[in-house]
A and B are shown apart, each in its own frame.
Chain A
Amino acid sequence: MSSPDLPQTEPGSRDVAIVGMSCLFAGARDLDAYWHNIISKVDSVSNPPAGEWDPEIFYDPESKSNDRLYCKRGGYIGDIADFRPTDFGIMPLAVDGGEPDQWLALRVAHEALADAGYEQRPKEHVRTEVVLGKGTYVNRGNLTAGYHSIVVENLVQVIRTLHPEYTDAEAAEIKKELKACLPPFSADTAPALIGNIIAGRIANRLDFMGPNFTVDAACASALLAVEIGVRDLLSGKYDLVLAGGANVSVPMPTMSLFCQLGALSRKERIRPFDKAADGTILGEGLGMVVLKRRKDAERDGDRIYALIKGVGVASDGRAVHVMAPRVEGEELALRRAYEMAEISPDTVGLIEAHGTATPIGDVIEVQALSRVFGGRKGALPTCALGSVKSMIGHTMPAAGIAGLIKTALALYHRVLPPTLNCEEPNPALNLQQTPFYVNTEMRPWIHSGPTPRRAGVNSFGFGGINAHAVLEEYPVEKVAARSHQIHWETEVCIIEAESRQQLIDQCDRLHAFVAGVTSASLKDLAYTLNGGLQELPFRLAVVAASLEDLGTKLKTAAGRLSDPRCTQIKDNGGVYFFEQPLNGKLAFLFPGEGAQYQNMLLDLCIHFPEVRHCFDLTDLAQMHGKRDILPSERIFPRSILSPDERKHVEDALWQINGAVEGVLTGNWAMWTLLSHLEIRPDVIAGHSTGDYSAMLASRIIDLPNEAYLETILELNRAHERLSAQMLVPEATLIAVAADSATVMAVATAAGGELHLAMDNCPHQAVLVSSKEAAERVIEQLRSRGLIYEILPFDRPYHTPMFSAYAYGAGEEFFAGLPIAAPRIETYSCTTADRYPTEVEAIRNLYVDHWIRPVLFTETVRKMYDDGVRLFVEAGPRGNLTAFVSDILRGQPHLAMPSNLSRRTGVTQINHLVGILAAQGVAMNTDYLYARRSPKKIEWREAPSKATSAAPPAMRLNIGLPLLKVAPRPERARMAAPAANNGEASVRIASNGSSQTAPARPMALPATNGNMGADAPHRRAAAAAASARTESAFGQPMSEIRAATSSAAGVMQQYLASMQTFLDVETQVMEAFLRRAGGTPSVPQNHALPMLGTIASLVPNQELTAQRTLSIGEDLFLLDHALGRPVSLTDPHLRSMMVVPLTMGMEILAEAAVALLPGHLLVGMKDVKAHHWIQVDDTPVPLHISARRVSPSASEVAVQVRNAGDSKLLLEGVMVLGTSYSPGPRPSLAPLDEERPSALASADLYDGRLMFHGPCFQGVAAVDRSGRNGVDGRLRTLPANGLFRSNRSPKFVIDPVQLDAAGQLVGFWAAEHLERGFVVFPYHLERLHVFGPPSVAGDMLQCRVRLQLQGTETITSDIDLIASDGTVHMRLEGWADRRFDPPKQLHAGWTRPLEATISEPWTTPISAIEPSGVFECVRLDTTVASGTGLWKELWPSLVLTQNERRVFRERHVSEARQLEWLSGRTVAKDAVRLFVRSHYGLTLLPADIEIAQDEHGKPTATGLWTEQIPHVPDLSISHSGKLAAAVVCDGSKQRIGIDVQMIRELTADFEDIVLTSDEKQLLASVPQGMRQQWLLRMWCTKEAVSKALGRGLIEGPSSVGIIGLDVRTGIVYSRPEGKLAAVTSGAALREMPCYTAVEGACVVAIAVTERGTL
């Protein structure tokens, strides 16, 4: 089909508009990132993320086995797959068991709608369709169900067959452990396992009532979804369609399937259309588009990315195989698409190919395209070909949407996007016969045809199903183009001040902000700074590539500014300051031929549509000229061209036509850009051909853009005619490095037809020579030693040799142009003076300009004499700038290019803006940010530490769950007892599982014999080698122990120590080197996980290090939180987290080991914790310093300080040695009054006694306890969950084990003490270490002998005893401080689900109970008086994320804080009690957020409200130390409560509160009770107005008291005035209010029935 565009009856009526998009693909978590990656050529194909599946096991490039992969790389989304369930009213706890694609699809759907603007306006609910392409592969959720339902049980049966010795209980435990590896599988997660609910959930959560369904057409799925959507829109059935495709995971089974098919690349590289392509790479991700009919979108004022003109679908019919592509099927899909679109494929400039990089697939695809597009028509190919798969892999059911989104963005931004990895196109594609070329570089999509830019998208699926979509740009003038490339490689930041000192201060302030800020964007900072300029006299401009770069430059600048001798900074790195601005005129200079170059202004075309449009117009002018190569093809050449094509294109840029068009378009584009920046020249001038640009800019030639560019063509045509007539002689142009006088002397000496054509500067003049005279000139130049260059032009411009042109075609051409006096003062280089103003004189001057020399030197001097000091070259390259600098050498001036071939366009513009701003030139910098979503930021204040209000998103697990069990050492030893005959049993652990290898004979001598000189070496190497598959301390400690008595054992211990040294030294070096890279101080290496980044190190003397503790990295904190959990709905909400003392001890130990290379930690002395190290959302930076106590001693004193305030947190002296002493026998006293402990193992960590989470639950059993101590057992826990990025940390001491030892003191205290049973360690006198840390699974005995010291302290001696009965570690003088937590808080902390902090209060509600269900609570706010700990703990137990922020940011007295916190606490407790008794729903306080409605009435909100039919109604009151809250069923009633402490009232209280009628009522009360009743009346007014939901809007008179019943306490009231008016129905009603006196307070409670409102 090649029919030309057919006229449509109603243009655009069959168009569908893409109005919103969103996606998530490898490396791109949103649409902006996706586009940025595409045009920046980011290759997001990677190895599988850690933890997905273990390549060590499953990856084998040689294997053909169906459980091995030969290709492991893919487009994985592991790091960016996150989701915020609370945004969609989904319980976070229900997420993990489901298919992750459902959650991501919901997120992406929501984002796409938001992108379409549906966040701000109502969406079409009823007629909206959701269609998603989705495959039916085995994914995480369904595999989880399979594991739960079949596999785990099978596995347990297998284990039992192999290990008949396992008891039922042990088998059950294994099963439990296996299931614990899996996400949950239950009724809650079941919906998320049902495939179509990916679409159903979107319709459900976003409330759509059109159809929702999935389609599966393999790799064509997404385009089929789009096709259905387009069809249903055009038929009028639905009005809005959400279409897309999802392939969120590429699990092992899918990879295997593709390996079995041989479809994956063996080289593990996806190279679409390349000669070396050998298969595809799979990718993960999903994308969605929002579609509407074009006319609806236009009606609604939508932003339209692109129009879908047609979608064609076809099957392959009877292909050779269901998996084989067939050219006829693909061709048919294409033809159907173009038929529907009613456009010719000739007009398509971009094809997003299926391009999987399977050689056969690529060849068939190009064949199909060629059949539809026809053969090559001109000299150059016309249609770019590419595939985004080269960047993100093949995302199968989502592939079509990945391509469609990319193509829509290409059309929207007018960019031809690059494709990766195609270095040499596959010859089998025969591309030179086709209109296609593989586009490998980002290029602006310059376009000038009569039709709009158009593009096609291919998507072909297994099973022979093919789809093609035809897209078209939306007309440019209607695009409100927001850039998707919002971050540039550099930004310019300008600051200013009234004085130099203030500028320095400003500089320091900005530096401090930049140094402290973590999340601000440089773009927003630049926008904020530059947009706030007020023309203050002192300015500093900095061009920076990053916040860090900005910080460095500001610091340097501040230093220089502080030196009074520094009068200016003009650093080519981009720092500009001028004490004295030049205060002269500003000139623009337009360059002439020779300034053009390939790819000039390329990035400016991308960033500024107005710039690109200039190039469009030049092409358009040329289209009419029917030249074979368009200007854009010369300026932005295709990256892959044949050598002939390349030469053709390159030469064309330097032939006269190409050169003139090139430079004039470049000048015009730059003028356009500078005009938008509102940089206004006082004067302008043009060099040679640039004169034409100057005349345009000054409106001497008064034409609009389009016509102007047409005239260039005219000009060139005139040249061509003359050339054809041979009227202009060819000449040689010679640039000589000398002044014009010298050059003229040469010319005179040489003789012949010689003219000075250009006097550029003192070091360059251009001589035009007839061909005949050229050789003599060159001889002269040589003999005089002058440097010269023959220029690549042959026209005798600016000489009499050009007269035939000037007086012929030139004059005639110019006569046809409208000429006017210049609007901006313009200099002519022909006269070295201003342009005349009379039209005739201008015309004459123009003719002269072709035959008289360019007097640039003289012109610039004249401009200087006339007061010009600032020269901006307004065009490509920057040659003129160098001329000006040479001309004005030694005279104060500034010459600056707007463009340089060596810098990107935007960077040079930033430099220009910066230097001009520093010179005080006015401009509008907003233009730089207008399309980049600029945001003002506050930088004068210190950076806010508050994190954003929204809770952080959950990282979704998208890989398959792995089954693991903990090693079972006792059992393993039974099966293979450790030899004590001189052979050592070596355990090889890998992948978390373990097995007992047969004892490996090490051929060690049976006695303490000598081993030969080289033996230790060999052993060390062997140990090092084995350590690669084992942990660093690979030998299980128990086995080292077991063998210690023998020589082999000694050797083993030696080897283990050796390996420790090697590891630690390597890690010290790495930690030290990390500093240089400036990477955040997270533990990236396995050893020294707590030491962070070493800042300075003098081995054996001193060390300092920086370690930042954060909940993001230091996951162990989450398991060391007091009060856990605090929220059932917000899994990110943590209670108060404190660093365990033993983790602090590990820091001390690591610092010491790092300082003394070759040493082991054998003990500690006098470890003191001075302060809690508490971590919340704000990371805590630590400064660690270690120094050797004396040069000879192996002792290191270490201190840990808060790096922020330098507060000393922790210190101790570390004792080091080169080997461990043998562990002594335990020697602690027996237990007094020994008895079995009452604590059952199962109860230890149920939350009532200990707050420790799983990472710290190291006490396996508390066995015996007595008056003076306790004996228990500790299990060595795996350390893989303690840090986020370090899954196998290697500790110097085992801080988890030590913490567990300390916990035994806590268990003892809980069992034996009546008070002060909450204990926290703060001091340790002495620690002895007798061996390396034990390995996970080992069991140690632990004995604690303790003494109470006074009433506040317990000191303990503790032995940890290895299985051989020797002491492994001994702690002496472990001191715990005892605390008495307030009863209420303790209950809220240990039994969060059942307990409330407030106490129920029945008095106020007893009288109203017959009318409904109520809960009322009260709290004595002195609950937290005493130590600071409880004040810290309380808010963390009850507040939500938002409330915590409010609490932190309230700057009020402590009493007010306490009141606020108490109010929230009682409200939450009352709500909790109510929903539990009323709806059976259990909540924690921090599930409930207390907000206020628009009238100030408190309301309870939270996710839980979706689970109950009506939100309860709530009222809170405070008085003195009392807070109270009451709650009722909000669907029926509203409630108000008020409490007042009974106190002396001032005399005028009554006058203020009561009306005269009310006073009379009060007078009827017996005298002794009047005080109390006055308060009851006051409380009534408050309570009634609260129950009406408004409060006392007009003060006490808002509620009138109309009666009292002294017997029952009822006060009768009535709303008055405005309150009565706004509560209409209740206005005239008499409202009873129940009041009572309890203790020292009066309480009143009022209820209104909903019906009365």
Chain B
Amino acid sequence: MNNKSAFWKALIFTIVVFVIGLLLGAYFESQRASSLVGVLENSEIDLLDEQVRTKAIQDFNVRCDVSKNNTFAFADRIYSEAETLERDDQATKFSSDLKVIHKRYDLLRTLLWTQAVELKKQCGNLHTVVYIYEYNTEDVDKQALQISFSRLLTELKEKHPNEVLLIPIAGNTGLSSLEVVLKDRNVSSMPSIIIDENVTISNIISYDELESSILK
């Protein structure tokens, strides 16, 4: 064996292993994105269903509690789907599919917000808590603040599962509909919490303060 050829052989072998690794990585990421697309499409259908249901409350006098329960269940589901999406998104290195999916989810959640506002007008007795956060921020202080906001809101949701409709939305994905609403509500910094479309909180507050500002 000409031992000097080992340099090239090892280089070729390393490149082959790396290329296989990269291709496998890209494949797994696309698989992950595909499974999320499937979940997202179901959620989109559910939201359309929800819109029809809201209309039905007006037109066919459907009971508010039935519609409210469905809205809460739907919001809870897309909340947990969003958590999965956030985790997968952080682990994605090649595919840009998840960015698009994220944007679609944010659109879906913005729609849910408008839907919830409509439901609130008709049925009352529910609070919308919209959490606007910054997507993919590199600012460590902001990341820490968002973790803390997230914990605070999760605790709130756990204590008031049937009164508080929690809707987290990334505020920097370029959705014009959301930007219009945020501008209208004077939300200039992230993270922010918008309570019942009236109160905006941008600084860290205690749980009791948050709870009292919602259930006053």
Q: A and B bound?
A: no
